[in-house]
């Protein structure tokens, strides 16, 4: 709507780009993917694929905080906890786990230090200096005891028109699912934890109910909600408009704390490779740029977009984007010793110092990746396969194998195949509010959908 208004007021712009960090990054990515032609490039930092990636990884991490601090507080050393979670350290894990508060509708829940359940923001007194109103009056807010039908401030409920609602409760349906997830699988195979620890953890990890209360059973996602989330672009696919345009990730690194972790940057690239065969329209400069280095990145990006949209030769927009990359539109990282210097080399996700950039900016993991899941982080409910002894780097006793099969009676995650209901984005689509009515209104890309 904003672009339409601009065009009516000033004329058609030479190009339109979106830029932002954190929430601005995933908004840029998701809108570019779901609405091809709206943006001609995205210039992003502090990257996440989507808001759900933060929340879902947080939910895995928060189950682990509960297990390690309540269910089995003395069964794992700190080093073993880090090995299971995949993060750089304890603080990084806790910071990520506390992001699960985004999905928690229960006001004022007491949990681990730093945890805050979903809250309603107050309107700034700068806007209403005399008598600032409440955006959602207290009497309309959800409380499981005093107002069970109230409004819920969660990442699921804010997108209830996509996820759909439970007809029994009116709450948004959910896509968190950990059926078949083998927490600590990498730690087991590396020898960091024992078979007994692995079995105890997976037998007792549990899941959540619709209010984010811990429950003994694993969580199971709603399949309709899952399908709609992928098709709407709420879960980033990268096979829509994002496949056609320059995508420039210019950095910000803090794997030690703060939950803006580097694996999310590489998850976007991994999704682009999976969806489009390669990520030749994606450039990554890692690290924390100063003002000069940030301006250099922006200049290279703008050169790239200008060259791509100026190309009138035969080819798709993806062809034009890839063949018009400027010389400096290559992977690199910011030097820690020489101000404003970019060290150009391919960027890879690895916690091992196998390159100059990885020595300076090592990457770490997350619980579901450490459970064998893909770096892309785009399988939110896995297909299942039978437990097979050959899949493990350790030898289980006959008794341990029987126990493992009893823990996963319907099977464990098969990460070699696509996720349940995983599919590409339906561009320029609108999703009906009812889980039983999925309405796609596809128009020409230069029209606005009804």
Q: What is residue 137's predicted lDDT score, i.e. its pLDDT?
A: 84
Q: What is residue 224's predicted lDDT score, i.e. its pLDDT?
A: 97
Q: How far apart are CA 67 and CA 73, in angstroms?
A: 7
Is the residue at 333 inside a domain?
yes
Q: Half-sphere exposure (CA, 13 Å, Cβ side) for 203?
A: 15
Output the CA torsion sign for 61, 62, 63, 67.
Answer: positive
Is the residue at 447 inside a domain?
no
Q: How far apart are CA 413 and CA 379, in angstroms?
A: 10
- Residue with the two structure tokens 């007809």: 167
Q: How far apart are CA 181 and CA 417, in angstroms?
A: 14
- Residue with the two structure tokens 């050169």: 303
Is the residue at 422 inside a domain?
yes
Yes or no: say if 445 and 426 are a contact pair by the CB < 8 Å rule: no
Q: How far apart are CA 414 and CA 371, in angstroms?
A: 11
Bridge partners, residue 141, by sequence: 151
Long-range contacts formed by 203-207: CB under 8 A, 24+ apart: 203/403, 203/407, 204/67, 204/71, 204/72, 205/63, 205/64, 205/67, 205/178, 206/63, 206/66, 206/67, 207/63, 207/176, 207/178
Q: What is residue 446's predicted lDDT score, i.e. its pLDDT?
A: 35
DSSP letter for 430, please.
Answer: -
Number of domains in the chain: 1
Ranges of beta strands (E only) in 199-270 are 207-208, 214-215, 247-249
What is the token pair recorded at 78? 């700190």
Yes or no: say if 13 and 6 are a contact pair by the CB < 8 Å rule: yes
Q: What is residue 439's predicted lDDT score, i.e. its pLDDT?
A: 37
Q: How far apart are CA 448 and CA 450, in angstroms?
A: 6
DSSP letter for 17, please.
Answer: E
What is the token pair recorded at 11? 């004329």
Is the residue at 442 inside a domain?
no
Q: How far apart are CA 35 and CA 27, in angstroms?
A: 12
Q: How far apart are CA 431 and CA 232, in angstroms?
A: 7
Q: What is residue 442's predicted lDDT score, i.e. its pLDDT?
A: 32
Q: How far apart are CA 162 and CA 182, in angstroms?
A: 29
Q: What is residue 443's predicted lDDT score, i.e. its pLDDT?
A: 34
What is the token pair recorded at 93? 């894990």
Range(s) of the domain holding residue 204: 1-116+141-433
Is the residue at 428 inside a domain?
yes
DSSP letter for 163, please.
Answer: H
Is the residue at 145 inside a domain?
yes
Is the residue at 450 inside a domain?
no
Strand-pair category, 332-334 with 342-344: antiparallel
Q: What is residue 354's predicted lDDT score, i.e. its pLDDT?
A: 82
CB atoms within 10 A of CB 156: 25
Is the residue at 217 inside a domain?
yes
Burial class (CB in 10 A: 0-12, 13-18, 19+), 22: middle
Q: What is residue 130's predicted lDDT score, i.e. its pLDDT?
A: 67
Residues present in the chain in total: 450
Q: How far apart are CA 307 and CA 75, in angstroms?
A: 58
Low-confidence ranges of the chain (pLDDT < 70): 123-134, 430-450
Q: How far apart are CA 274 and CA 280, in angstroms?
A: 12
């Amino acid at each position: 709507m904003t672009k339409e208004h601009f065009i009516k007021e000033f004329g058609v712009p030479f190009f339109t780009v979106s830029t932002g960090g954190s929430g601005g990054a995933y908004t840029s990515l998701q809108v570019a993917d779901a609405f091809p032609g709206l943006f001609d490039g995205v210039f992003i930092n502090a990257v996440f694929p989507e808001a759900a990636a933060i929340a879902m990884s947080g939910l895995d991490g928060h189950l682990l905080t509960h297990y390690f601090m309540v269910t089995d507080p003395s069964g794992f050393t700190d080093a073993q906890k880090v090995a299971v979670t995949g993060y750089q350290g304890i603080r990084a894990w806790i910071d990520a786990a506390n992001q699960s508060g985004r999905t928690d509708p229960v006001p004022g829940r007491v949990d681990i230090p730093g945890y805050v359940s979903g809250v309603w923001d107050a309107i700034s007194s700068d806007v209403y200096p005399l008598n600032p109103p409440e955006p959602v009056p207290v009497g309309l807010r959800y409380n499981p005891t005093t107002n069970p039908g109230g409004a819920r401030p969660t990442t699921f409920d804010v997108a209830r028109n996509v996820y759909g609602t439970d007809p029994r409760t009116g709450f948004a349906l959910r896509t968190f699912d950990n059926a078949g997830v083998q927490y600590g699988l990498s730690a087991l195979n590396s020898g960091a934890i024992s078979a007994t620890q692995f079995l105890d953890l997976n037998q007792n990890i549990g899941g959540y109910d619709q209010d984010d209360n811990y429950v003994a059973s694993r969580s199971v996602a709603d399949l309709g909600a899952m399908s709609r989330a992928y098709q709407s672009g709420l879960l980033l696919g990268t096979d829509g408009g994002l496949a056609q345009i320059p995508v420039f990730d210019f950095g910000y690194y803090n794997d030690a704390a703060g939950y803006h972790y580097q694996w999310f940057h590489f998850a976007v690239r991994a999704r682009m490779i999976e969806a489009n065969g390669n990520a030749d329209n994606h450039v990554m400069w890692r690290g924390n740029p100063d003002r000069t280095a940030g301006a250099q990145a922006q200049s290279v990006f703008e050169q790239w977009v200008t060259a791509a949209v100026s190309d009138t030769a035969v080819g798709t927009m993806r062809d034009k984007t890839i063949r018009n990359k400027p010389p400096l539109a290559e992977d690199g990282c910011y030097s820690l010793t020489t101000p404003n210097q970019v060290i150009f080399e391919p960027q890879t996700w690895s916690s091992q110092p196998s390159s100059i950039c990885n020595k300076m900016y090592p990457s770490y993991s997350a619980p579901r990746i450490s459970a064998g899941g893909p770096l892309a982080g785009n399988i939110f409910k896995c297909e299942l396969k039978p437990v097979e002894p050959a899949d493990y780097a350790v030898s289980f006793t006959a008794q341990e194998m029987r126990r493992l099969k009893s823990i996963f009676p319907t099977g464990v995650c098969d990460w070699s195949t696509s996720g349940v209901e995983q599919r590409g984005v339906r561009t320029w689509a609108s999703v009906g509010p009812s889980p039983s009515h999925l309405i796609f209104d596809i128009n020409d890309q230069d029209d606005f959908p009804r």
